[in-house]
Every structure is written in C-alpha cells, then in structure tokens.
Amino acid sequence: MAEETQAKAPSTSDAPSNSHASSGPSSGPRGAGRPTGGGGNRGKFFRRKKVCKFCTEKIDAIPYRDVRLLQQFVAERGKIVPRRLSGVCTTHQRRLTRAIKQARNIALLPFATRH
C-alpha cells in the first residue's frame, strides 16, 4: 500500500506542472484556437525556400521593355515588391529595380495606380 501511494505521488505532482503550461500565451480568450508562435518549424505549414526566378531561368539581363515580366514584381499600388517576398536574389533585385524605374520613366509602367 505504501508503494501505491508512492506511485500515485508523482502523478499528482504532474498535475500542477501541467496547469502552469496551459496558462501560456495561447490560453485564454485571445489565444484560443491559435497555433503557438515562435517555434520555428513546429507549425503546420511548411514554407518553401524561395528561389530566384532569374537564376533558375538563367536570365542575365533584365529587359526594361518586357512589361509583362516586370509587372510580376510590382504590387497593385505600384510599389516594387521586396526581395523577401519575391524571392529574387540580391543582384537580380538591383537589376530588376533599375529596369522597373527605366520602364516607369518612359511610361511603360505606371508610377502609381489610380484610385
């Protein structure tokens, strides 16, 4: 019988520690139903590493006259999409920015959209 109480003692000590774990940021009315953040690769969704489109297709020079290509890297408001969103490497992002600015200056691309 003494062994049974000793066996039950660790299980009762686990209960208070679990109650502390549930009082984290994901519990309560605001955090209900949200995945816990900041865990790195622990989330449900796998984010694929973006690869430079120009490097994969081996495009060295980005033509400023190719409006269809340049529009892929310009947001609806007319802003140039940053590298972290587009997945373009540093050298091609610089060339892309220069080509977009040239296309804007000769009125192939709009500076901003109309609202």
pLDDT digits (tens, 9 = 90+) for 58-96: 988 999 999 999 999 999 999 999 999 999 999 999 999
User: Is position 56 within any domain?
Assistant: no
- Chain centroid to CA 99: how far? 26
At 25 the pLDDT is 55
Q: Locate tokens 């605001």: which residue? A: 30
User: Is position 92 within any domain?
Assistant: yes
User: Is position 76 within any domain?
Assistant: yes
User: Is position 57 within any domain?
Assistant: no
DSSP summary character for residue 34: P
- CATH of residue 82's domain is 4.10.640.10
The number of domains in the chain is: 1
CB 20, CB 28: distance < 8 Å = no
Domain extent for 69: 65-105
Which residues have a Cβ under 8 Å from the Cβ of 88 and sit 6 or more positions away?
Answer: 52, 53, 54, 73, 96
Of the pLDDT bands very low, low, confident and very high (cuts 50, 70, 90), residue 101 is: very high
User: Is position 42 within any domain?
Assistant: no
User: Is position 84 within any domain?
Assistant: yes
Structure tokens at 74: 């310009």
DSSP summary character for residue 64: T
User: Is position 32 within any domain?
Assistant: no
